[in-house]
């Protein structure tokens, strides 16, 4: 009985690893042939503007230290660029995805400060992705409208808690650079096979309630 139980656990892990590998392959194939770009962006709190200098570039001009935005989709295909134009390294752009489907990031994401990508359906950084930010949080947590407004107005931290039974993943197979800051990958299933340059990394399980405010000050645990 014990050997059978061990075998089942091994098969479960192998199946999960295979599923992740297939997801990464599918993501890369999809993003290399189809333009993505974040869609239907709307400022929820704070001040900012969304600009499209050309069909492969998006610039979010952030005018307040904290900015909260809703997106129907938040995808970046290969050769596409999304840049948050922030005034300081302490600035935070909170991006919540309200539509169906995971976020597939296989292009360039950059900012002077911190970028949060919150999508309950999952976040995948493909092998072609290049993230160059002051700090990064990618989470499958649920964030309410009040959470968004309060955080943007500086009323406390942003509590990130994953709903019971949610199995969405955060996967990094690309390159993440967050010098001086923290990279937090927060989901039920977290896979980090890409390269990272950062002060500290946090891989969080759903049992942990992650508090996000100033990531550079919260580099309390290091993984990988």
DSSP state of 49: E
pLDDT in tens, 139-193: 999 999 999 999 999 987 888 888 888 889 999 999 999 987 889 999 999 999 9
pLDDT in tens, 67-99: 999 999 999 999 999 999 999 999 999 999 999
Q: What is the pLDDT of residue 163?
A: 82
pLDDT in tens, 43-55: 999 999 999 999 9
Q: Which domain holds residue 99?
A: 39-198
Q: What is the pLDDT of residue 212?
A: 60
**35-39, 56-60, 83-87, 112-116: range with lowest mean pLDDT:** 35-39
Report yes or no on 70 lying in a domain: yes
C-alpha span between 204 and 191 (Å, rounded): 11
Report yes or no on 9 lying in a domain: no
Q: CATH number of the domain that 83 lies in?
A: 2.160.20.10
For the chain, the domain total comes to 1
- pLDDT above 70: residue 210: no
* Alpha carbon distance, N-terminus to C-terminus of the chain: 34
- Supply the pTM of this predicted model: 0.78
SS3 31: helix
For residue 177 the two structure tokens come to 């650079």
Most confident of 4-8, 12-16, 53-57: 53-57
Of 218, 178, 219, 172, which Cα lies nearest the Cα of 198?
178
Report yes or no on 101 lying in a domain: yes
Q: Cα dihedral angle (42, 163, 17, 73), rounded to 10 degrees? A: -10
Residues in the chain: 224
DSSP state of 16: H
C-alpha span between 141 and 131 (Å, rounded): 21
């Amino acid at each position: 009985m014990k050997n059978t139980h061990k075998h089942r656990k091994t098969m479960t892990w192998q199946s999960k690893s295979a599923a992740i590998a297939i997801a990464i392959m599918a993501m890369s194939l999809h993003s290399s042939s189809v333009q993505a770009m974040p869609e239907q962006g709307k400022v929820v709190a704070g001040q900012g503007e969304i600009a499209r200098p050309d069909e492969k570039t998006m610039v979010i001009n952030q005018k307040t230290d904290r900015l909260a935005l809703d997106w129907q989709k938040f995808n970046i295909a290969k050769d596409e660029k999304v840049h948050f134009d922030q005034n300081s390294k302490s600035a935070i752009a909170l991006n919540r995805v309200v539509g169906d489907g995971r976020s597939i990031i296989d292009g360039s994401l950059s900012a002077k400060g911190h970028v949060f990508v919150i999508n309950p359906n999952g976040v995948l950084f493909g092998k072609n992705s290049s993230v160059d930010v002051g700090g990064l949080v990618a989470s499958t947590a649920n964030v309410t409208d009040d959470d968004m407004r309060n955080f943007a107005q500086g009323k406390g931290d942003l509590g990130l808690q994953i709903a019971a039974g949610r199995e969405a993943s955060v996967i990094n197979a690309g390159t993440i650079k967050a010098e001086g800051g923290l990279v937090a990958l927060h989901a039920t299933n977290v896979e980090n096979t890409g390269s990272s340059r950062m002060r500290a990394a946090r891989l969080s399980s759903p049992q942990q309630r992650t508090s996000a405010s100033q990531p550079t000050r919260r580099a309390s645990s290091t993984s990988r």
